[in-house]
Structures are given as structure tokens and as C-alpha cells.
């Protein structure tokens, strides 16, 4: 277990443990991030990826927009990184300044999103085909802020256009403090397998920059294996954290003892109810939609979870959804032998 890093630094920002919650659109809002933070074991959390144009327009309009809701966070979320996407050099620089003024510890640039509507605007992984523009963006944003700058990117557009090593070296040369590589290509989307050897190649290609590995880390064993096989400085976890918010704590248990606890039905009930109540407290505009979305994640591994999902999908308001959750688990917990 000793081959797993205990901590790392992004410039002057210490991060411990050496684990990162990946930015996920529609998932990593302030409510979910705080839920993860409260379980323990996660070193750095990140916002949903946020449009740089949206940030700049919101500042100009001087009003609370949907974009600014993406960037809302609480003091207990530190250290926290704001992730931006876009392809306009000056707009990206201005948006980064806004994030710094809002109190973020780190700004991250997204060069990984494979979604068509983002790529069509030359954002996300679309920029992997234009390294000169990537360099312009990195230089402009680096000059615009004093807090650490990082980037998350994919291995390339496809298997014939791999640019992971070039991207990492570009980041190092432009003064970034860390990079996170998801080693699938844009063409792969989320299909197929992550080629972790590409993370190892990036780690070997740079000298003075933190390398964070991402992709197909589903269990604590995967996290340790990624660190051992690639030499990365930290491990980033995305989709697995949606259905298993305890995974970061489990990694720490595994490193200390060689084993880890699996959540009980009672704990699954408590985390689902806690998340739903946090949504209601925040007065989330789409609380019902979020509850239905997260029902899919949180019932993963729950006995008879499909029944609960059906009841939640049919419910029309938040109060009814909470009633469904209470009733379901009351029945299920009574059925568990003492």
C-alpha cells in the first residue's frame, strides 16, 4: 500500500489525501460536493464544468444566473477547484479572474469533455486538435490569475491523434501546477477501457508538475493499482463516486488496513435521505429532477432498489419522494435479520 501517495500540492495548496472528486456535469454541484466532503477521505473537490462565456456574461449582468449557481460553494468545501471551458482566449482569462475573486483555491481548464455541443464550439476535447490555441489559452489564463492553474484533458481526438504527452509538456511549459489525464480519446466517449499506460507516459514526460490519473477507478483496489502502475501523484474518481459516495473513505481504510467497510442498508438510507434534504434546504430549482436523477445512482446495490426507483420516478414533488424513501427503507430494514 505504500506506493499510494499520501498527499500532494497544487502550487501552494496542500491536498490530502491524494484523491480528487472529478468534475461531472449535472452531478458535482455544491450539495453533492458537500455530501462527499462529509464522508471523509477526499482531498480535492471540483465544480461542474462551467462556461467561461456564461461566467463573464453573469458578471456583466450583475445577477444570480444558472452559471453562478454552478460556482456557488460553502467554506467547508475548501480546497476546491473551479473548472472552466471555452475557446475564446480573453474570455477564458476574464472568467478565471472571476473564479479567483470568488475565492476558489484553484482554476482548472477542461480539455476533455466529449459532448458534441461543447466540441462544436471548439470547447472541451475539441481543442485537442488545436494545440497552438491551447497554448494561447493557457498563457493568457496563467497571466490573469495568481492562484494555481491546472487542466484536465483526454489522450487525444482518436487513437491516431494522441496528444497526451504534448498537452502535459505544454502545461508544464506554460506554468501550470497540475494536469489530470482521462486516457480515453474523444472518439471513445465513455466506452471501452481506459489505457492507464498513457497516464504513465505523461508522468514520465514531465518533471515539475503534478500528474493526476483518472478513468475506470471503481474500487479502492483500482485506485491503488492505478497509482502503482502509473506512478501518478493522485487519483481522480468520477462516476464511481455517484453511486458510492463512500469510495474515498474506503480508499483510506484500504490503505491503512488492507480492507474496507461496505455500506449497510441503513447507511444507504441515511445518505439518500441526507442528500435529498440538503437539496430541499438549498431550495434547488430542480430539486425533484435531481432527486430522480440521483435515485438511479443511490439505489445501485440496494436490495429491491428497482421498486424504489419506480416509486420515485412517479412522484411529482420532493415531499412525496422523501415519503417514498422513508417507506421503502422502513420495510427493507425490518426485513433484514437481526
Q: Which are the catalytic amino acids?
A: 113
**Nearest of 259, 331, 267, 256 to residue 298 by alpha carbon:** 267
Grid coordinates standing for 140? 493568457
Grid coordinates standing for 15? 491536498
Q: Is 71 exposed, middle or buried (0-12, 13-18, 19+ CB in 10 A)?
A: buried
Give the Cβ contact number of residue 63 at 10 Å: 8
Torsion angle of the four alpha carbons 26, 27, 28, 30, in this order, in degrees rounded to the nearest 10: 80
Grid coordinates standing for 208? 515539475
Give the Cβ contact number of residue 243 at 10 Å: 15
Q: Is 241 exposed, middle or buried (0-12, 13-18, 19+ CB in 10 A)?
A: buried
* Cα–Cα distance measured from residue 195 to residue 322, given in angstroms and rounded to the nearest whole number: 41
Amino acid at each position: 500500500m505504500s506506493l499510494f501517495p499520501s498527499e500532494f500540492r497544487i502550487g501552494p495548496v496542500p491536498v490530502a489525501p491524494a484523491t480528487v472528486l472529478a468534475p461531472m456535469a449535472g452531478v458535482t454541484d455544491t450539495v453533492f460536493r458537500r455530501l462527499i466532503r462529509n464522508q471523509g477521505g477526499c482531498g480535492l473537490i471540483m465544480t461542474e464544468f462551467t462556461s467561461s462565456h456564461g461566467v463573464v456574461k453573469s458578471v456583466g449582468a450583475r445577477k444570480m444566473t444558472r452559471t453562478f449557481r454552478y460556482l456557488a460553494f460553502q467554506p467547508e468545501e475548501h480546497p476546491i477547484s473551479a473548472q472552466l471551458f471555452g475557446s475564446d482566449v480573453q474570455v477564458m482569462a476574464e472568467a478565471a479572474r472571476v473564479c479567483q475573486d470568488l475565492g476558489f483555491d484553484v482554476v482548472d481548464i477542461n480539455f476533455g469533455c466529449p459532448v458534441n455541443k461543447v466540441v462544436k464550439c471548439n470547447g472541451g476535447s475539441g481543442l485537442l486538435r488545436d494545440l497552438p490555441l491551447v497554448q494561447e489559452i493557457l498563457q493568457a489564463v496563467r497571466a490573469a490569475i495568481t492562484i494555481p492553474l491546472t487542466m484536465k484533458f483526454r489522450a487525444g481526438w482518436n487513437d491516431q491523434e494522441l496528444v497526451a504527452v504534448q498537452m502535459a509538456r505544454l502545461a508544464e511549459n506554460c506554468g501550470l501546477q497540475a494536469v489530470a489525464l482521462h486516457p480515453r480519446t474523444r472518439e471513445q466517449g465513455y466506452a471501452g477501457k481506459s489505457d492507464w499506460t498513457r497516464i504513465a507516459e505523461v508522468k514520465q514526460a514531465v518533471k515539475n508538475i503534478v500528474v493526476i490519473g483518472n478513468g475506470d477507478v471503481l474500487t479502492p483496489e483500482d485506485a491503488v493499482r492505478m497509482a502503482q502502475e502509473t506512478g501518478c501523484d493522485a487519483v481522480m474518481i468520477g462516476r464511481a463516486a455517484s453511486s458510492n459516495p463512500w469510495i474515498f473513505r474506503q480508499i483510506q481504510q484500504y490503505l491503512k488496513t488492507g480492507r474496507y467497510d461496505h455500506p449497510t442498508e441503513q447507511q444507504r438510507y441515511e445518505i439518500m435521505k441526507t442528500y435529498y434534504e440538503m437539496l430541499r434546504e438549498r431550495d434547488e430549482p430542480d430539486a425533484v429532477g435531481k432527486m430522480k436523477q440521483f435515485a438511479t445512482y443511490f439505489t445501485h446495490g440496494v436490495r429491491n432498489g428497482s421498486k424504489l426507483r419506480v416509486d420515485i420516478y412517479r412522484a411529482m414533488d420532493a415531499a412525496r419522494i422523501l415519503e417514498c424513501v422513508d417507506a421503502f427503507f422502513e420495510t427493507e430494514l425490518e426485513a433484514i435479520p437481526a
